Structure 1
């Protein structure tokens, strides 16, 4: 059995630039469609126990919709994912001023982050496994970040029901880095979605980062014990979200970093397990990153239409984003996000799917 790779045109931007699409697939297994705009996963078809495939990620059918409505659907985020307080940080004894795009702060790389960049297809192939590698050069001063930054992301299907992502980067000046994948998942399928609040989630994290206004980390990591953030035992996501909790009120749900370790691990390890009781689909997420941002889609407010003519609202999808801890450039007590010349940044995540017979739980 061998996998398949197909390259096609996805659409054209108002600038006249062409957005391409690469489809990777295994017969009877996954099919993932990656577009060069934002190096984003535009669709991901996953079989259930009966072999019926459904698209499990939110996205758009027109590249201009990604530009007009910046929800980061399936995008590669960079240079730094999540938030940087005050749109500034100290590096080499000097203050680096960034372009704020969320009030006074920076979110997901700034006003024109990697999700709005047109990436280049560097390589693709079907053997020994379907893959595509995309690259991007971010010039010195891009969104205020120092250094010419050369980034790549490689998508692979190493097995029929496994999707791997490898993010890599180098720089010619000291800078900061924290790339991630911003997929919005609903394992029941996004064409006719059930609420993801019914999904069961396990996150083996003892600590999480509480936030203040602006969703900036507030102080040291906190214990999940006795809070709605305790997913050490699998539970329905919505079970504790209506309990009165200051952190849930601040974020209008969950939009918090779960602290997995104090530094990246040498190899990917299990950081989350997500199950949909309706379809039986299961996602096991493995990563080498020190943090996992879990987001319950709190800003999905029904104001846009995506694929299949569906209007997305809160609860229709969720994000599980392996990454550096938010605001790490301003927090020397957090795992370092610094990248120096001559060093290489590498982030590996694996999305491993399976299926259980519906009602087995």
Structure 2
């Protein structure tokens, strides 16, 4: 009997040691850096690859803070890239519709490229008809950021910093910006935005990734979208806010329950759908007062089983369905045709500097701009 107990004890100890060794040899999250190329001005651009213990990885360049690749598993465990973009730096430099980019100083549109702050009118570069869009001619998506790698036991990160000098693109104040991307072992990519200024200015930062959960195999019309919003920002035919917040109930813009993107996207009996050429609007998100990071949207792709849940502290999200992709851009061996990707750009409302009823985007000296957005990936079988 004693021999048997001794054998059991040794076996248990061996199993425990084997289990501990297995845990100790699990792949820890990692981050690596490679050279991505040089800008026309001769600056070196790098590409950072963040990989978690599950094999999920995201590639981010310090040129424009761009998410170039994002590999997540489908219901069979197959890892595939789920963001539109390119394999080379030159393709980004040649011009693109903000694939994966950090957008600033002001994400979305400012009417006629002008706003007045504290009695002074500022004139911006206009790059979207008569309006300013996504920071202007040389926004945050076209500059090289300083980069710092962050390593941890359960997550890795990339800290990007940039000084936007006073009157850059027409915006007042020296704006110091820090954006931190973090990938953890829950397959969640978190983006923390922070900024300070030495003069009153306006700030509205976001990321402009185009997602395609099929693994870039086909368009996004079968993706099922939910947005936790009962109203949206009404726009005119130039996609500039009218100042009115309108209910979505009973319209093709109601995503309070899941709907396939293609189900109602061409219902031009709705004037907002007509103006956007589909979905290209800012939804007014439901408020969360419990202090947690609220879930604001989700996207499910039925064939792959991939589910993306979006969380944010921002008051709005611009849901855009690639209506202006025209098939003249190709990347990763794929031609990006109309509605080949969708964006969920968490942000303050468009044209807020000219809309006093909207939540303010003014940042003053002594204040800190802080927002957080995260994208969590899983599967439904």
Deviation at 1:128, TM superposition (A): 4.7
Deviation at 1:13, TM superposition (A): 2.4
Superposed displacement of residue 265, structure 1: 8.8
Q: Look up the match of 2:116.
A: 90
- 2:372 — aligned with what? 348
- What is the CA-CA distance between 1:225 and the residue it aligns to? 1.0
Among candidates 130, 143, 157, match of residue 169 of structure 2: 143
Shift of 1:264: 10
1: CA distance, partners of 2:367 / 2:138: 25
- Once the 2 structures are TM-superposed, how far is the Cα of residue 59 of structure 1 from its aligned partner? 0.7
> Equivalences for 1:17-32 in 2 at 5 Å?
17-32=43-58
Cα 1:62–1:343 change in 2 (3 A) is same
Provide the residue aligned with 1:115 in structure 2.
141
The yes-or-no answer on 1:253 pairing with 2:282 is: no
SS of residue in 1 equivalent to 2:210: coil
Q: Give the equivalent residue in structure 1 for 2:70.
A: 44
> Which of structures 1 and 2 has the bigger CA Rg?
2
Displacement after TM superposition at 1:113 (Å): 0.6
Q: Deviations over 1:102-141 (max 9, x none)?
A: 1211000111110011111034324452111011110000
Q: Secondary structure at the match of 2:160?
A: strand
Give the C-alpha shift of residue 151 in structure 1.
0.5
Correspondence for 1:199: 223
Q: CA separation of 1:256/1:93 partners in 2, compared to 1, >3 Å: closer, same or farther? A: same
| Residue of 317, 327, 338 corresponding to 1:302 | 327
- CA offsets, 1:168-200, max 9 Å, x none? 11100000001001000001112xx22211000
Number of positions where the alignment pairs a residue of Structure 1 with one of Structure 2? 354
Q: Does 1:189 align with 2:222?
A: no
* Correspondence 1:309-328 to 2 at 5 A: 309-328=333-352
Q: Which runs of 5+ in 1 are unaligned?
A: none
Q: Is the 8 A contact 1:264 1:290 kept in 2?
A: no
Structure 2: how far apart are the matches of 1:330 and 1:340?
A: 17
Partner of 1:281: 306
CA RMSD of aligned residues (A): 1.6
1:223 to 225, 233, 247: 247
Instruction: Give the secondary structure class of the aligned counterpart of 1:10.
Output: strand
Q: TM-score if structure 2 supplies the norm length? A: 0.90
How many Å separate the matches in 2 of 1:88 and 1:132? 34
3-state SS in 2 of match to 1:130: strand
**Equivalent of residue 72 in structure 1, options 98, 106, 112:** 98
For the 8 Å contact 2:54–2:185, the answer to whether it is kept is: no
Cross-structure match for 1:62: 88
Aligned twin of 1:104: 130
**TM-score normalised to structure 1 length:** 0.95
Stretch of structure 1 that moved more, 171-180 or 6-15? 6-15
